[in-house]
Amino acid sequence: MSFYHLPVLLKECLDGLNIRPDGAYLDCTLGGAGHSSEILKRLTTGRLIGIDRDADAIEAAAARLAAVGSPAAFTALRGNFHDAPTLLRDAGFTDGLNGILIDLGVSSHQLDVRERGFSYHDDAPLDMRMDQSQALSARDIVNTWSEDELARILRDYGEEKWARQIARVICDRRKAAPIERTSQLVDMVDAAIPKKFRQGDGSHPARRTFQALRIAVNDELEPLEPALRALSELLKPGGRLCVITFHSLEDRIVKNTFRNLADPCTCPRSFPVCVCGKKPTVKLVTRKPITASDAELAQNPRSRSASLRIVEKLPGREAD
């Protein structure tokens, strides 16, 4: 089984994690193990744990990483990183971590395997499930959700200006027959957006619609802030949390959560001293996101929209 993944911002992530050879690290989005394989190479007596909800990713990553380091140094857990504290506890990992990495992008494998239905470039079943065992798919959403619900997710998750028009076309077309294929959905977006109003940046007109559906299918945004807070609590003092995002909605959540963790005080600015008692638990390592270099963009165009933000756990804020 091929599950190749070209990791984005690899050097920046490795530098950001500040890897210790004897440290404990968590890759929350294992994917093709592109980042994990490089982390594992830098460990001697340390440990790496990987989480992914895609069974194919778990299988392929375990095989790839077995060739990199000692099998005892790596453990794969199937699940959603939003549930990382529970997954780690159930697996017997109770010590703090020295570093955590989250890559919120869709893996290259998921994009390139047509049958997964993530790409608007191929004709495939309308699926988009990262976890193939879950019930809800993109097909269910486009065939059963109301016009208002469809318009909402296209607007809120895809930032699509033509959300209402696209939702209306979907609801009209599905009256004749169920919408089963990605190519059908692309045709509906094409019918809904007048050509003279298409994006002038060269992007595919269905890009925002597919993004919105993928986010809705996999519930990517709502649990993100509490997950980031919970993960930050798993870090040892000096431990780093690195997060790669690929669109503005994710990046906004990460930025605001990190800023709040670094400056949680709710006192009015006019107060001479803090009286709310809320103390920072992390410090910002990056005040602005790190983006791909020209060299990386030339090698991997998918890194174009990637942004990396990093925080570091403050002393005196031990992981529970």
Taking a C-beta distance cutoff of 8 angstroms, is the pair 144, 123 a contact? no
Distance CA 81, CA 223 (A): 10
Q: The whole model's pTM is what?
A: 0.91
- What is the pLDDT, as a whole number, of residue 1? 46
Is 166's pLDDT higher than 90?
yes
Taking a C-beta distance cutoff of 8 angstroms, is the pair 182, 122 a contact? yes
Show the tokens assigned to 254: 């990460």
- What is the pLDDT, as a whole number, of residue 202? 63
Percentage of the chain modeled with pLDDT above 90? 75
Percentage of the chain modeled with pLDDT above 70? 93
Question: Please, what's the b/e burial string for 263-293 (b: 16 or more CB within 10 A of its CB; e: otherwise)?
Answer: eebeeeeeeeeeeeeeeebbebbbeebbbbe
E-only strand ranges, the chain: 24-27, 47-52, 74-78, 97-103, 235-245, 282-284, 290-291, 307-313
In angstroms and rounded to an integer, the radius of gyration of the C-alpha atoms of the chain is: 21
* Annotation: CATH topology of 113-213: DNA polymerase; domain 1 (1.10.150)
Mean pLDDT of 263-286: 91
- What is the pLDDT, as a whole number, of residue 115? 84
Report which of residues 90 and 109 the model is more confident about.
90
Locate the domains of the chain by residue range. Answer: 10-104+221-313, 113-213
Taking a C-beta distance cutoff of 8 angstroms, is the pair 80, 227 a contact? no
Taking a C-beta distance cutoff of 8 angstroms, is the pair 97, 51 a contact? no
- What is the pLDDT, as a whole number, of residue 272? 85
List the Cα angle 240/243/244 in 5-degree steps: 145
Please give the class, per CATH, of domain 10-104+221-313: alpha beta
- What is the pLDDT, as a whole number, of residue 301? 87
| Domain 10-104+221-313 shares a fold with domain 113-213 | no
21 CB-contact burial (10 Å; exposed 0-12 / middle 13-18 / buried 19+): exposed
Mean pLDDT of 120-126: 93
